[in-house]
Amino acid sequence: MRRWFVLAALLVVVLLVLAPFALIVLNAVKTPADYAAGGPLAWPHRLTVDGITAFWQRVSFGQKLANSALISGCVAVLGVLFSLFNAYALGIGRVRGRNWFLGAFLLANLVPQEALIYPLYYIAKQLDLYDTRLAVIIIFTAIQSAFGTFLLSGVLAEFPPELLDAAAIDGAGRLRTLLRVVAPVSRSTLGVLFTFFFVWTWNELFIPLIFLISNDNQTVPVALGVLQGERMMDATTTSASALLGIAPAVLFFLVFQRTLTRGVTAGAVK
């Protein structure tokens, strides 16, 4: 009886999660006439991708997709690298003032982005980086690596000392130990950070909306946000835009699902 109750509860949770996505897909392949006649829940008389095609052409979605992929990919890679180097110094190297550094990284994660906008905007203007993808990459790399450093420092603080001693006996220096011993052993955790950094950066709207004002530099969330404010936007095109906006992130998440599972369960079984 208890087993059936758990399965039923799990089924309800899955339906609640998938129902909004299924509704978006359903309305994205409707014609405006079908939507007007039957509403959002009715099955369409004819499936069409006209809404998806119209949205793709209307906002030059291919360019927006490339911008989001470039920014998110660079931030994920750089964020993991900086987090690894910082956490290696704080978690294994035990540098002086370790707790102060960790407190600073924690504080950086607690500061709202709205409080950082004006200083970042002024600095970007002074460095002639405003309205460039490089500025957004630098900003998000700093934000994500602050979180990654705080999280990874605790993980590396529990790193097996036997492996470090063996590397030292073999004559490995600190950099070689990091690259040949620490990084491979922590691969699952680094994979989790990479996945989250990519998805988090992909979904960010506020900072790209402020810093990327040119149409050629805008990301997918910015294109969606700007388009939602325009008039003459029917419900089917809106659903198509939402589908195209979330589909790449969902696909990326599914591709790296095994990496996430390994990272979450790492250390659970000795």
Length of the chain: 270
CA distance 175 to 110: 31
pLDDT grade for 262, boundaries at 50, 70 and 90: low
Q: What is the pLDDT of residue 5?
A: 67
Q: What pLDDT is recorded for position 269?
A: 41
pLDDT at residue 224, as a whole number: 81
Convert the pLDDT of each residue in 234-258 to its tens digit: 678 778 877 888 888 777 777 766 6
**Paired tokens of 108:** 């950086």
Structure token digits, residue 78 = 């750089």
Determine the pLDDT at residue 207. Answer: 93
pTM, rounded to two decimals: 0.82
The alpha-carbon radius of gyration of the chain (Å, integer) is: 23
Q: Does residue 268 register a pLDDT over 50? A: no
Winning range, highest mean pLDDT, from 2-6, 23-27, 61-65: 61-65
**Confidence band, pLDDT 50/70/90 cuts, at residue 17:** low
Average pLDDT on 7-13 reads: 71
Average of per-residue pLDDT across 260-267: 54
User: How confident is residue 232, by pLDDT bands cut at 50, 70 and 90?
Assistant: low
Long-range Cβ contacts of 55-61 (<8 Å, 24+ apart): 55/227, 55/237, 55/240, 55/241, 55/244, 56/244, 58/227, 58/237, 59/223, 59/226, 59/227, 59/241, 60/215, 61/220, 61/223, 61/244
**229 pLDDT higher than 80:** no
Structure token digits, residue 202: 């992909």
The DSSP code for 256 is T
Question: What is the pLDDT confidence band of residue 136, given thresholds at 50, 70 and 90?
Answer: very high
C-alpha torsion sign, points 226, 220, 138, 83: positive
Residue 76 tokens read as 């994920």
Element (H, E) at 21: helix 2-28
Cα separation, 177 vs 62, in Å, equals 42
Stretch (H or E) spanning 130? none
Angstrom CA distances, 252 to 32, 86, 199, 256, stand at 30, 27, 8, 6
Highest averaged pLDDT of the listed ranges 41-50, 165-174, 199-208, 233-242: 199-208
Most confident of 15-24, 26-35, 134-143, 156-165: 134-143
Residue 40: count other Cβ atoms within 10 Å of its Cβ. 13
- Structure confidence by residue, pLDDT tens digits, 56-91: 887 788 899 999 999 999 999 999 999 999 899 888
Average predicted confidence (pLDDT) for the chain: 82
Between residues 6 and 192, the one the model is more confident about? 192
Euclidean distance between CA atoms 230 and 94, whole angstroms: 54
Determine the average pLDDT of the residues in 126-137: 94
